[in-house]
Amino acid sequence: MVNHLNKFEEMKRKLYLLILPIIISALIISIFFNADNQGFNHFVIPLLAGVYSISWVLIYKKKLFFYVEYLNVILISVLHLLKVFDIVYYEMVVGKSITTGNATFWTPLVFAFIFVTLKGRSSVIYSFTLWCLTIAIGLFYWDEIPYYASESLVHYFLSNFVYFIFLFFSRHIISAYTKSEMLEKIAYEDSLTSIANRRMVYLWLERALKKEQPFSVIFFDLDHFKRINDEHGHIIGDKALVEVALLVKSMLKESDYFGRWGGEEFIILSFNREKQKMIELAELLRKAIEAHDFPEVDRVTSSFGVAVVQSSDTAETIVNRADDALYIAKNNGRNQVQYKEV
């Protein structure tokens, strides 16, 4: 059965698809360079390479994603503890080794898998329990470990705890940042057209006026939009608004600012166009909207008002002047561009 993954799960899936081949490659390299024919690595490394290879195939095909994720967390946790036992007993107690070896490099992966897979408090409890078990193995054989190896083991345990703390706070920081970004998006983005809303436009205007930047404003709306809603329904009307937003956005420069003022009204701020260029741009947009093929709507036209900022302007006065120019265009028969001086 193929899993239907949500956005977060799909992101995790892509992460696994990227990371697992790197881990598998490292394990295969270890098989060829492993001189320990009887020890822990002799059976664990090939096992891990096989399990991760199968996992990658299942994740790639979106099969059993939930089970593969949790199986890998359990597997890597058990193998982590077995590896700690191998380091402490076989390498330090029996072999008199003074270092923890390559395990130090891969330990962060254990906690990373846990924090990516498990949610909320369960990831913290699971990770802390795993760390405590890691400590317990070391303490059990502490009196048998050579004195000169104890410092290395203490550093290993402490580094494990640092990884745990780092991942814990990293996830909270990312979560807080994501929530902040989402709230900002809700506050400043129009939910229908995905362009800026009126609140964002006011911020642009205030910033430009504060910096005393010369700029121009185009204010436009769709002619007889109420008729479109009445004849075709609000869903078709909304589609027309989205089409207009996409069309206009595609014709603007990156230095132009485009937002939805409300209803069928839109506004453009430009910092790199003079009066005549703005009038020409408005005319170009008007013709593009008139010529555009709107699904389920016979024809859509629009009226434009253009204004250039003056030294005495506020956000309200520059918008009102552009709106007055739009009103003139409406009174003169619609589907045209008008400019208003101070």
Q: Kindly state whether residue 19 falls inside one of the protein's structural domains.
A: yes
Give per-residue pLDDT as tens, 122-142. Answer: 888 998 999 999 999 989 999
Instruction: Assess whether pLDDT exceeds 70 at residue 81.
Output: yes
Mean pLDDT of 274-284: 94
CB 196 within 8 A of CB 190: yes
**Residues 241 and 113 reside in one and the same domain:** no
**Residues 112 and 170 reside in one and the same domain:** yes
CB 100 within 8 A of CB 62: no
Q: Kindly state whether residue 190 falls inside one of the protein's structural domains.
A: no
Determine whether 264 is an active site residue: yes
- Secondary structure (3-state) at 307: strand
Percentage of residues in the chain having pLDDT higher than 70: 90
CB-count burial class (<10 Å; 0-12, 13-18, 19+) for 85: middle
Instruction: Pick the last residue of a domain from 159, 185, 211.
Output: 185
**Residues 21 and 92 reside in one and the same domain:** yes
**CB count, 10 Å around CB of 226?**
11
CB-count burial class (<10 Å; 0-12, 13-18, 19+) for 327: middle
Q: Kindly state whether residue 290 falls inside one of the protein's structural domains.
A: yes
Q: Kindly state whether residue 193 falls inside one of the protein's structural domains.
A: no
The whole-number pLDDT of residue 4 equals 59
**What's the rounded Cα separation, in Å, for the pair 93 and 95?**
6
Q: What CATH code is carried by the domain that includes residue 315?
A: 3.30.70.270
Q: Kindly state whether residue 191 falls inside one of the protein's structural domains.
A: no
**Range with lowest mean pLDDT among 3-17, 271-285, 315-329:** 3-17
**Residues 178 and 238 reside in one and the same domain:** no
**Residues 180 and 247 reside in one and the same domain:** no
Mean pLDDT of 201-225: 93
Q: Kindly state whether residue 328 falls inside one of the protein's structural domains.
A: yes
Give the range of the structural domain holding residue 235, as residue numbers without chain letter: 198-339
- Encoded tokens for 179: 């929530």
- Choice among 144, 243, 264, 283 that is catalytic: 264
**Residues 205 and 253 reside in one and the same domain:** yes
**Residues 167 and 222 reside in one and the same domain:** no
Q: How confident is the model at residue 36 (pLDDT cuts 50, 70, 90)?
A: low
**Residues 28 and 158 reside in one and the same domain:** yes
**Residues 75 and 166 reside in one and the same domain:** yes
pTM as predicted: 0.55
Which of 96-105, 182-191, 238-247, 271-280 has the largest mean confidence? 238-247
Q: Kindly state whether residue 89 falls inside one of the protein's structural domains.
A: yes
Instruction: Assess whether pLDDT exceeds 70 at residue 109.
Output: yes
Q: Kindly state whether residue 192 falls inside one of the protein's structural domains.
A: no
**Residues 68 and 217 reside in one and the same domain:** no
Q: CA-based angle 226:230:232, to the nearest 5?
A: 110
How many separate domains does the chain show? 2
Instruction: Pick the last residue of a domain from 126, 151, 185.
Output: 185
The whole-number pLDDT of residue 338 equals 96
**Range with lowest mean pLDDT among 20-24, 30-34, 144-148, 198-202:** 30-34
**Residues 240 and 315 reside in one and the same domain:** yes
**Residues 147 and 252 reside in one and the same domain:** no
The whole-number pLDDT of residue 41 equals 62
CB 134 within 8 A of CB 81: yes
Q: How confident is the model at residue 1 (pLDDT cuts 50, 70, 90)?
A: very low
Instruction: Pick the last residue of a domain from 150, 185, 220.
Output: 185
The whole-number pLDDT of residue 276 equals 93
**What's the rounded Cα separation, in Å, for the pair 17 and 66?**
15
